[in-house]
Amino acid sequence: MRQLVTGGAGFIGSNYVRHVLAHTDHRVTVVDKLTYAGNRASLAGLPDDRLMFVQGDVCDAPLVGDLVADHDLVVHFAAESHNDNSLRDPSPFLQTNLVGTYTLLEAVRAHDVRYHHISTDEVYGDLELDDPARFTESTPYNPSSPYSATKAGSDLLVRAWVRSFGVRATISNCSNNYGPFQHVEKFIPRQITNVLDGGRPKLYGAGANVRDWIHADDHSAAVLAIVERGQLGETYLIGADGERDNRQVVETILTLLGRPADDFDHVNDRAGHDLRYAIDWSKLRDELGWRPRYADFGEGLAATIGWYRANADWWRPQKAATEAKYAEAGQ
């Protein structure tokens, strides 16, 4: 199979590319715009005879059409995804997340190519901290930021193209990913690299906000299962029962790195900070038989810390500029 992976030089996309090349005989073409969040180094060491890289924009209809025509499957990871950035300037999120998805859908429609759409649990809004409920595939959309609103819109485009034009597509909405190759602007790698640099982690507000964490390797395996065995037209939620509040995550990082669990700083909370995300992934488990490898969050976090410790050359060029932006915002 020939897979076209958009955003394949980004965090989740590059982990997926590595997983596909390690566990299948598929060939992969990565198309990535290489914004600040894309990094060719995230694809280093992969086999040249099975991986091709194209620098380009998913909004570029002629380029996208030519690439899609030469592949059997499109897996669409490319997205603007940082909530803080969407609050400062929503415009790139509308272009990449909405126009880019539309461009891809028109291309797969024209060439009758199978399509899988990567999305987020943030399209569902948030849950109360004391609510026992979890998001399911039937939870109404209720996005709360420009980022999550544009991702919700892209999901709805996919559903419309399936129903109106018969596009062969599936959608997955995943909980928060962590693991190798994640930009240091994101919560977990920011805290890990702060400690590795001899600094202190930064905790938004009281740190009570809850996220449902999944290792990127597990996300990749789940996506491949959906691509291979998922029912066309269906949505699958991907999770790993990894609910932790932000304070617990910071305390675990500090403990694993041999520092006191309270050795962190509180900073200004994010505007409109969602309270809690939680995924019910029973459909994925029951229909496709998928299970996460890193069911123990602490084990996955320890492996992630080990990767950042061993790969400072990958993340250090991003670190100073990232921290300067956070400092300007008092975070």
> Which residues participate in catalysis according to the annotation?
121-122, 147
Task: Report the C-alpha gap between 57 and 140 in whole angstroms.
Answer: 31
Contact assessment for residue 201 and residue 253, using Cβ atoms and an 8 Å cutoff: yes
Contact assessment for residue 76 and residue 119, using Cβ atoms and an 8 Å cutoff: no
